């Protein structure tokens, strides 16, 4: 009982959404903030690897929403946080999909963003004590 109260008191200290926001902006950062170094490193390697390979396959970075599929693609891309913003600033990623591998690359980038959102929510669950 006392341990449970202490755990709740610890979880209530500080800004509870920090791991969620940090995890969204930088893959794995939410777990690093909570001292989960191995999990954070594996998540960062997976999400960064997927994003970088997507760019290397000449995948498209969605820049605007012209139709419903573009809106979904943009939502997925935005899940990458700073990776997406920096890549857009640097002009990485293709504007048009011209080869088959570019289509794979576009999916890799979108899925990396979606996986990053899952990882950030996991960091939030660890922070609130919903997950151990």
Partner 1 sequence: MIFRPSHFSAVVLFALFASVVFGITQRETPRRMIRFAIYCFVLFVGAAVVLSWLMFLIAR
Compare residues 65 and 86 and give the one whose CB is closer to partner 1. Answer: 86
- Confirm if 57 and 109 have CB atoms less than 8 A apart: no
Determine, following the binding rule CB under 8 A, whether residue 112 of this chain makes contact with partner 1: yes
| Whole-angstrom distance, CA of residue 131 vs CA of residue 34 | 12
| Whole-angstrom distance, CA of residue 118 vs CA of residue 89 | 25
Please report which residue ranges of the chain form alpha helices under DSSP H: 2-12, 18-25, 29-33, 37-56, 68-78, 82-90, 100-128
Contact residue for partner 1 among 11, 70, 101, 128 (CB under 8 A): 101
C-alpha distances in Å from residue 103, one per residue of 28, 54, 64, 86, 108? 26, 9, 18, 21, 9
Determine, following the binding rule CB under 8 A, whether residue 86 of this chain makes contact with partner 1: no
Contact residue for partner 1 among 34, 43, 61, 109 (CB under 8 A): 43
Determine, following the binding rule CB under 8 A, whether residue 53 of this chain makes contact with partner 1: yes
Determine, following the binding rule CB under 8 A, whether residue 39 of this chain makes contact with partner 1: yes
Determine, following the binding rule CB under 8 A, whether residue 46 of this chain makes contact with partner 1: yes
User: Count residues contacting partner 1 (CB under 8 A)?
Assistant: 27
Compare residues 68 and 90 and give the one whose CB is closer to partner 1. Answer: 90
Determine, following the binding rule CB under 8 A, whether residue 131 of this chain makes contact with partner 1: yes
């Amino acid at each position: 009982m006392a341990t449970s109260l202490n755990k709740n008191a610890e979880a209530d200290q500080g800004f509870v959404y920090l791991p969620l926001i940090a995890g969204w902006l930088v893959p794995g950062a939410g777990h690093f903030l909570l001292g989960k170094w191995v999990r954070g490193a594996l998540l960062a390697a997976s999400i960064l690897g997927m994003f970088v390979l997507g760019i290397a396959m000449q995948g498209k970075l969605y820049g605007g929403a012209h139709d419903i599929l573009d809106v979904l693609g943009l939502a997925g891309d935005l899940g990458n946080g700073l990776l997406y913003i920096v890549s857009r600033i640097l002009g990485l990623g293709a504007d048009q999909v011209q080869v088959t591998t570019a289509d794979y690359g576009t999916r890799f980038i979108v899925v990396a963003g979606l996986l990053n959102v899952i990882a950030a929510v996991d960091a939030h669950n660890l922070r609130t004590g919903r997950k151990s």
